[in-house]
Chain A
Amino acid sequence: MNDPGITILLEGNRRAFEPGDVLTAEYRIDSLSLVDAKAIEASVIWYTVGKGDEDLAVHHFVRQTTDAGVVFDLRRPQRLRATLPSSPLSYDGVIVKVRWCVRVRLFPARGRELVAEVPFQLGRVPAAAVPAPPESIAVHE
């Protein structure tokens, strides 16, 4: 779920990429109450969704922080640019699915961190076939 206050835009509103493509995104903080954040992280990640153990890897990562006295102006849009790898490709399986997204995490001066994500497709692997329905279930009305 995306927290309000962070907007991520993929260049050209593009949502499908091929390996080797360059993904460009712009992200900005919409709320003036958040511009004094301690840090902001932007990443291009993939993760699995499914029934068993989960996996996640960071392909590209940028962090801006005020820890070392660095000042950054979050009122201005920030840019992220990453060349996409050849694997893993997006996959819509039954037991496991591979998802790619651009994720931005904002660490405000006070309160909990905020997160926003924009999903995208990498490659063109067809979705898995519809599984056979599981065995019948006793229904208790």
Chain B
Amino acid sequence: MSRENPFSTRAVRPGAIAFLFEAGVDARSLVDRFLASGRRGQIVGPHGSGKSTLLASLAEELRARGIAVKLVELHDGCRAMPDEAVAQKGEVLMVDGYEQLGVVARSKLAFEVARRQAGLLVTSHRNVRWPIPLPVIYATHPGVELAERLALELLSRSRHPEAVSAAEIRGLYEAEQGNLREVFFRLYDLYESRSR
């Protein structure tokens, strides 16, 4: 049992909580799909729907198969790839926030990845088809049930699992229009105000 707020960044960041897959899908099957697509793919979904978390799960699965991974997180307004984000031969380059790149940056990235015989797996808010169409290997769909499941699971590991009710989680989900990241921020505040 943790003494920390269960909605703190360290508890909810990608990789800290496992991605909850739809029935019949798991990290292994998605990595199979990615490899079968010529090591090209994108994960598509709205803000805060778990794309980065899924990317972390797939990175773990790829590494477990002996495939090296390099992750690049693009922050708001980042139109070009950082200079150091160069994939080596055989490596899979993961780009979180691919839709932010300009067309020129995406073209350059596609060229570099092909030249170096590397893989490319990205997350995006929309299906980016140009300049190269990347197969959509998974579309994340946030839902109130998912938010409730995740939040209650996090609460169950805390000292005050009763601090927030399921009904409140659902209310926050609606207020934040399905953005799980914002829901977790609000839950952090709520937990803090009730557990001190």
Contacts and interface: CB of A to CB of B under 8 A. Distances in A.
Contacts of A138: 171, 174-175
B8 interface: yes
Interface string B108-129: 0000000000000000000000
A80 interface: no
Nearest to A56: B10
A134 B190 contact: yes
B6 to A, nearest CB: 11
Contact of A51 (B2, B8, B165, B193): B8
Interface residues of B, number: 24
Interface string A92-110: 0010010000000000000
A139 B173 CA distance: 10
Contacts of A51: 7-9, 185, 188-189
A19 interface: no
A131 B189 CA distance: 9
A32 interface: no
A140 B9 contact: no
18 contacts: A49-B5, A49-B9, A49-B10, A50-B9, A51-B185, A51-B188, A54-B10, A94-B192, A94-B196, A130-B193, A133-B194, A134-B193, A137-B168, A137-B171, A137-B172, A137-B186, A139-B170, A139-B171
